[in-house]
Amino acid sequence: MNIYVESPEELGSLSIKMLIKDAASDLNLTRLVNEVRVHMTLDPFLFYMSVTKNPAPPSVDIDDFLTITDEDDDVLKMEITDEMYAPYLLQLLWDRFGEDNVNQIRRNILEIKAKKDEVMSLPVYELKEREVDGIVFDLIHRITPVGLRIIHKMPGDMAYLASEDTITEESIKMIEDAISRPPRELTITEEEFMPRTSKEKK
C-alpha cells in the first residue's frame, strides 16, 4: 500500500502518513488498498483524501460466514458466523425474500422462510466489495481532522475534500490542480522522525 501525504509542513505530513499506516493496519486494509493520498492546505484550510482500492477484492462464498443450524417446514434457522457481514447479508435477504419473511432474532441469528438451496445459492460476490467500502469509509473518517464539517465528493470512488467553511469552486480547482501532479515523496523517514520525537520528550 502506497501512502502519499502533502501538507505545508513535512513533519506534519509524516505524522499523518504514520497515522494512516497504523489505522489501515488496525482495519486490515493494507492488502485491500493500493494507494492513499492526502493533500492539505492551510489557507484556506482544506483536507483532501483519496483511497484507491486494489482492483479485485478477495472472493467470498456464503458458507464462509453463514451456517444453517436448523431446517423445518421451509423455515431455516441460521447463524452469521462473521458479524462483519451481518448488515450486508440482511439487506440481501430482505431484497430476495422480503422483510416479512426474515426474522432477525439477534444480530447474528436469523430465521427465514426459504429453502436451504435458495439461501446457499445467493450471489454474495459483491458482499466483500461492500465490506471493503465500509472499512475504507471508516479509514477516511478516522483520518479526516475533527471539525471539518463541510464535505465535498471529488471525482473517483473514494475521494473527498473537507473544510471548516463553504468549499468554493476556486478551492476545488486549486486541489484538482495540485492532485493532477504526481505526489511528492517525503524527504524525512519514520526512523529519522522517531528519535527526534524521543529527544523532545526528554
The residue from 124, 141, 170 where one domain ends is 124
How many independent structural domains does the chain possess?
2
Q: 69 with 36, same domain?
A: no
pLDDT at 79: 92
Element (H, E) at 2: strand 2-6
pLDDT at 201: 53
C-beta of residue 159 within 8 angstroms of C-beta of residue 169: no
The range of the structural domain enclosing residue 35 comes to 2-56+129-201
Q: Which of 65, 87, 66 is nearest to 76 (CA)?
A: 66
C-alpha separations of 169 from 11, 47, 156, 161, 173 in Å:
29, 15, 18, 12, 6
SS3 (DSSP) at 15: helix
Q: 196 with 134, same domain?
A: yes
25: Cα within 13 Å, side-chain hemisphere: 7
Q: 119 with 135, same domain?
A: no
What is the model's pTM?
A: 0.67
Report the Cα 90 to chain-centroid distance in Å.
20
**How many whole angstroms separate alpha carbon 4 and alpha carbon 72?**
55
Q: 191 with 141, same domain?
A: yes
C-beta of residue 119 within 8 angstroms of C-beta of residue 77: no
pLDDT at 5: 96
Element (H, E) at 68: strand 66-72
pLDDT in tens, the chain (202 residues): 999 999 999 999 999 999 999 999 998 888 889 999 999 999 889 999 999 988 765 667 888 888 999 888 778 999 988 877 787 788 888 989 999 999 988 888 999 998 888 888 887 766 667 777 888 999 999 999 988 989 999 987 799 999 998 999 999 999 999 999 999 888 888 777 665 555 555 5
